[in-house]
Chains A and B, each alone.
Chain A
Amino acid sequence: MTNSKLNYKLTKKDFNQINRRSLFGFQLGWNYERMQNTGYLYTMLPQLRKIYGDKSPELKEMMKTETQFFNTSNFFNTIITGIDLAMQEHEGIESRETVASLKVGLMGPFAAIGDSIFAALIPTIFGALAASMAAEGNPIGVIIWIIANLAICVFRWKQLHFAYEQGTSLVTDMRDRLNALTDSATVLGVFMVGALVATMINIKFAWVPHIGKVTMDIQNNLDMIIPKLLPALLVGFVYWLLGRKKMTSTKAILIVLVLCVVLGGLGIIAKA
């Protein structure tokens, strides 16, 4: 009875609709209870209706399956959607359990890869570039970043159909290549952080203690060891701070704020 209905094949129009919904709507329903669950259903609902037919018990069953807990990178979610739909298109309601475990199995790895590439590396590299130009009042860096993000949107658009065609084999292939790419990209990320520490933290020692008749220019002495030692030390301190238990990034920001206000107010450190 179930299989007789399964004669719908996804068209180019369907893919475009899913992509539109994913790109402009996927995370609107983000909630604490099941995170992206409603977003996942929303992106594929019209296609589920076409596969199972309106008002069918199978559709209701699948809608319930697709609103279970889900959370992954919103740059990779349509890969999972593509594989999911390819399975349902072939096997219908029979694929329910496979689809459910596939979603649970894939959301973690894709969250990890997506985070390291799109939430950490790209914002680091382009954000740093945009910020270092913006610090001189130049908006070109922001525009470069916008162009890069448009290119990423194209990539997000293409991956759905790709995943639909390739199925699960894509995941192992992609993870392989992405791991090597991610690892190399972290090299650039780490290098850039080093460069940013050296240029974007503009503080120096202002305190000139007098020991007897000798005046000690601390900053000048430090410059002879290596320039920008104070920014490097500050970053090292915060790095250590973040490793402590119950420390959050917001707390760390507030601690540094207070510390620098006090040291700056006392005239020990100053803006370079």
Chain B
Amino acid sequence: MIAWWQILLLTLYAGYEILDELQIYSSLNTPVGAGLVAGIIMGDMGKGLMIGAAMQLMVLGVGTFGGASKIDATTGTVLATAFSVSVSGLSWQAAVSSIAVPVAAIMVQLDVLARFTNTYFAHRIDHFIDEQNYKAIERNFLYGAIPWALSRAIPVFVALAFGRGLVQNIANALNSDWKWLGTGLTVAGAALPAVGFAILLRYLPVKKHIAYLILGFTVTTLFATMFTNIQTLGTGLAAASKGFTTVFNGLPMLAIALLGLGLAILHYKGIPLSKAKSSNASDASQSVEKTSSDANDEGEITDDEL
């Protein structure tokens, strides 16, 4: 069951989350942040984090790719976490692909609605500029927060208050007659990060930096295989011999990230631009123009911020 106070807190968080994203961007607005918050509220932080992680990876590059309204993975994570914890027999992977992703896709429409509503306030502000009514200008600007917050809070409230029975029925079906679909959804949940990575590669200058992509993939896949195999070996040994107590950890991603950071620093030091700048200012400004036009060619950057 979902308690009334859990519904209340999740609804409040949903309203807060979008304002956070628009403003300070604390990262509590991101899918993985939502997983943490919703997981704590629902009393199963681990499950929330796992759902948040899957959704985070799925949308890694989405913020900058195509169009103003992006798939709302944060709201999807909130609902998937709430239902995955409260509905019996719904694994977190199945919750990702059967709840989080569809919810995230549908929420795009409500984002569009919020942006439309704000056009109304923008026109009222035009009107109050003519009247030189400063307080009214500021008030009407701040009213913009209301459609934003409601566009997330209302769907979350409705889904949590009335949707649990439906989700329980779906979960039951996925575990009995529709078992194959349940399996498929679980596999899809594990595969979805691939989309996030591909979107990101579309955005990054992948052709220019292809060497680093190959390095990152190959180094990591080799290390990951080694670490996994050693862990398997360790578990086996520990089972066979009581004297074997060493614990092997998994591959630490931070170490891999530091490898990448080292390469990035090497690359930065190798950029001739900074030398040209110190020796000859006019050269520098030319090369600036050149690099900035290069950057525009490479990235598929749209003017839409969100």
Contact = CB atoms under 8 A, between A and B. Distances in A.
Contact of B271 (A26, A127, A135, A183): A183
Interface stretch (B1-9, B152-160, B214-222, B238-246): B214-222
B interface, over-half SS: helix
A104 B196 CA distance: 32
Contacts of A185: 264
A237 B198 CA distance: 8
B64 A187 contact: no
Given A59-B132, A194-B215, A263 B200 contact: no
A129 to B, nearest CB: 6
B201 A193 contact: yes
Interface string A1-37: 0000000000000000000000111111111111111
B134 interface: yes
A111 B301 contact: yes
B125 A30 contact: no
A190 B60 contact: no
B115 interface: yes
Contacts of A272: 190
B57 A128 contact: yes
B13 interface: no
Contacts of B35: 134
A198 B119 contact: no
Interface in B130-170: 130, 132, 134, 137-138, 140-142, 144-145, 148
A227 B188 contact: no
Nearest to A202: B190
B187 A263 contact: yes
Given A42-B138, A119-B63, A25 B23 contact: yes
Contacts of B219: 195
B117 to A, nearest CB: 8
B93 A187 contact: no
Contacts of A266: 180, 184
A137 B264 contact: no
Contacts of B70: 249
A200 B214 CA distance: 16
Contacts, number: 425
Interface string A228-259: 10011011111101110000111011101100
B252 to A, nearest CB: 9
Which of A41, A254, A256 has the most chain B CB atoms closer than 10 A to its own CB? A256
A270 B186 CA distance: 9
A191 B288 CA distance: 25
Contacts of B305: 27, 30, 35-36, 71-74, 111, 115, 119
A164 to B, nearest CB: 22
Interface in A98-149: 107-109, 111-112, 115-116, 118-120, 123-139, 141-142, 145-146, 148-149
A28 B184 CA distance: 40
A195 B93 CA distance: 22
A123 B138 contact: no
B23 A253 contact: no
Contact of A33 (B54, B122, B295): B122
A71 B105 CA distance: 25
Contacts of B221: 198-199, 226-228
Contact of A197 (B26, B118, B197): B197
B115 A32 contact: yes
24 contacts: A28-B148, A30-B305, A67-B126, A116-B295, A123-B60, A128-B60, A130-B53, A131-B53, A137-B50, A145-B27, A172-B288, A177-B274, A183-B268, A184-B265, A191-B260, A193-B213, A196-B197, A199-B220, A235-B201, A243-B202, A253-B195, A254-B105, A264-B186, A266-B184
